[in-house]
Amino acid sequence: MELLITYDVNTTTPEGERRLRQVAKICEGIGHRVQKSVFEVVCTPSQRLHLEARLQATIDASRDSVRVYHLDRGTFGGAKHLGAAVDAAHHDPLII
Amino acid sequence: MELLITYDVNTTTPEGERRLRQVAKICEGIGHRVQKSVFEVVCTPSQRLHLEARLQATIDASRDSVRVYHLDRGTFGGAKHLGAAVDAAHHDPLII
């Protein structure tokens, strides 16, 4: 299945910065980063469950937001890109 | 048609901050904000062309990135949301 993951993590605290790095790291482990907070993921249904569980356990549900769109096969290829080529990461180091 | 618009605007300069506000304002005019830089849009093909042209004219193509995913009808409704309820805007005022 193809998923598009988008996230907003509240980084007004050092703890938030840490969560942001963790969420990014989790997504990097399974997906292809197309923007700072947007990943394209091709995975199995069970991988999806595992991914969502890890993200849920990482975020602060009162401050952060993750959205998971289940796309039809081929949607990634048809995405239109305007502007700069993909500049992968957040500015922070992603090693945690 | 249903579109998902995601964007990264480079805000390291005041000019970038201005572009960010403009991109947000354009998207707010036609879509529903679900994260700071993610909008769900229901529009006609001609509205899509107009939207993409406005975004293209607004961004700095060497620094900013906009992605437009054309989704199948119903994909929005099936999106899974983890965490905080939608907290609409960027922190900056959006009036330009």
Count up the domains in chain A and report the number. 1
To 10 degrees, what angle do helices B45-58 and B14-28 make?
170
What is the span of the domain harbouring residue B6?
2-71
What pLDDT is recorded for position B94? 45
Nearest chain B residue to A68 by CA distance is B80
Task: Find the CATH number of the domain harbouring B7.
Answer: 3.30.70.240
Contact list, B78 vs chain A (CB under 8 Å): 69-70
Instruction: List the one residue out of A80, A82, A88, A76 whose CA is nearest residue A35.
Output: A88
Mean of the per-residue pLDDT values for chain B? 90
Taking chain A (96 residues) in runs of 10, the rounded mean pLDDT of each run is 96 97 97 96 96 98 96 87 71 46
Which residues of chain A make contact with B68, given a CB cutoff of 8 A? 79-82
Q: What is the pLDDT of residues B39-84, one digit of tens each?
A: 999 999 999 999 999 999 999 999 999 999 999 888 888 899 999 8
Instruction: Calculate mean pLDDT across residues B3-23.
Output: 97
All residues at 6 or more sequence positions from B45 whose CB lies less than 8 Å from its CB, including other chains: B1
* CA A17 – CA A13 distance, rounded (Å): 6
Whether B86 is covered by a domain: the verdict is no
Q: What is the pLDDT of residue A87?
A: 52
**Is the distance from CB of B86 to CB of A65 less than 8 angstroms?**
yes
